[in-house]
Amino acid sequence: GESVGLHLPTLSVQEGDNSIINCAYSNSASDYFIWYKQESGKGPQFIIDIRSNMDKRQGQRVTVLLNKTVKHLSLQIAATQPGDSAVYFCAENIRRDDKIIFGKGTRLHILP
Amino acid sequence: EAQVTQNPRYLITVTGKKLTVTCSQNMNHEYMSWYRQDPGLGLRQIYYSMNVEVTDKGDVPEGYKVSRKEKRNFPLILESPSPNQTSLYFCASSNGPRSSYEQYFGPGTRLTVT
């Protein structure tokens, strides 16, 4: 079906290490993907996006990788910091309409 | 300051009593959207609007109405709220749903229907 999901509900990472958050999508018609960060008590905040004609996109300390062959999306956070603690959502937009579909989220926990 | 505002932030009401949650943005965005967030289900899109007088159903529109009479405002209306509409609601706006048009989210409205 048209859904976006995540492999792990909770990810614990040592401060300073790199974090990798994964996301699987099922609709091959999706051609735009977004990662959001949601801190406790706040609304989601845009992190980075990628179109389906790209495999990789980099931002400040973040990289999104898209593997269309296996319908997999990942968010890499370099040198994870305490401020990175949050729930991370991937979302997709399907080419034929204007809906945005969110995954269920992964909680990133930073270990001191 | 660019922002999306929602009111009220918290609301406790009873079944069947009509309510409206307001949403306003000051960025002249064309695209506005309402989501509900429930534990274990993530964010689900209720309705969205591509522009004034243009609204479309998202994935969970049942029990909700919206209107877009002005570009900046996108109220969410619950004509007859039920307990299963107890949730955390977010309004969002952007220049479009795709391709580098990042969505800005409001602070959320926590609704409890008893």
Q: Taking CB atoms and an 8 Å cutoff, what residues of chain A touch B45?
A: 99-102
pLDDT for the residue A4: 47
Determine, for residues A98 and B90 on separate chains, whether the beta-carbon distance falls below 8 Å.
no
pLDDT at A18: 97
Residue A32: left (phi > 0), alpha (psi -120 to 50), or beta?
Answer: beta
Contacts of B33 in chain A (CB under 8 A): 100
| Cβ within 8 Å, pair A102-B43 | yes
Per-residue pLDDT, B48: 93
Task: Tell whether the torsion through CA atoms of B25, B29, B35 and B40 is positive or negative.
Answer: negative
Residue B45's closest CA among A51, A44, A24?
A: A44
Looking at residue B46, its pLDDT comes to 97
- pLDDT tens for each residue of A20-58: 999 998 788 888 999 999 998 899 999 999 999 999 999
- B8: cis peptide before it, omega within 30°? yes
Place of tokens 């952007």: B94
Mean pLDDT of chain B: 93
The 10 Å Cβ neighbour count of residue A43 is 22
pLDDT tens for A53-105 read: 999 999 999 999 999 999 999 999 999 999 999 999 999 987 667 788 888 89
Asked whether residue A108 carries a pLDDT value surpassing 90, the answer given is yes
User: Which of A13, A18, A3, A15 has the alpha carbon at shortest distance from A74?
Assistant: A18
Report which of A109, A107, A93 is spatially closest to residue A4, judged by C-alpha positions. Answer: A93
pLDDT of residue A3: 41
Is pLDDT at B86 greater than 80 in this prediction?
yes
| DSSP secondary structure string for all residues of B19-84 | EEEEEEESS--SEEEEEEEETTTEEEEEEEEEETTEEEE-S--TT-EE--SSSSB--EEESS--GG
